Chains A and B, each alone.
Chain A
């Protein structure tokens, strides 16, 4: 059974704090992604990674960074949390497309982050 696990379901942080969101997948997937979901805006891609230590900016990378030191783990870092980063954060993983053709991305359960 495929699994993407995010470390926290709910988090409350103060403005200016450094925040770490952790994600682990057990499917040996090459690709990992961080999205945020906001009402009326759908899912927007923050960063993605297609290999260990590799990272690519998504559509809204400002204010975020990522780390991928191991294949199974992809961390999202909010360098200095702000109230406009209050959102639902979703991690996902997928097989490298060249390996098996088209494959879907599998999502974690999400982290609801509130910055006060």
Chain B
């Protein structure tokens, strides 16, 4: 049962254009959402997050949008750069006591073409 889904395994975007990565979730108990970036043979690195009390969070070229009614979030990267080529994982955290357990999607491989 995949609670966090990234339905696009790959995405190809031209340098300078906008990259939009999508993520859907099913568990209404999720209240915190994150995006991670991963290069081959390295651990994921945190990019940006959003709490369920917000619908948008911006950090430089990265913006995350949250649509709670649709249980959908998206990551916008603009303008896209060659160094953005990586696998992007969406993650969600449920409202629980104790450990902040992260549930991840399958990942989307983003390729930025020059």
Contacts and interface: CB of A to CB of B under 8 A. Distances in A.
A61 interface: no
Contacts of A110: 41-43
Given A102-B49, A104-B46, A40 B9 contact: yes
Interface in A34-83: 35, 40-45, 48-50, 56, 58
Interface in A1-45: 4, 9, 30-31, 33, 35, 40-45
Most buried by A among B34, B44, B89, B103: B44
A58 B102 CA distance: 10
Contacts of A87: none
Interface residues of B, number: 28
B60 interface: no
A42 B107 contact: yes
Nearest to B33: A102
B104 interface: yes
Interface of B: 4, 6, 9, 32, 34, 36, 41-46, 49, 51, 89, 91, 93, 97-107
Interface of A: 4, 9, 30-31, 33, 35, 40-45, 48-50, 56, 58, 90, 92, 94-98, 102-110, 112
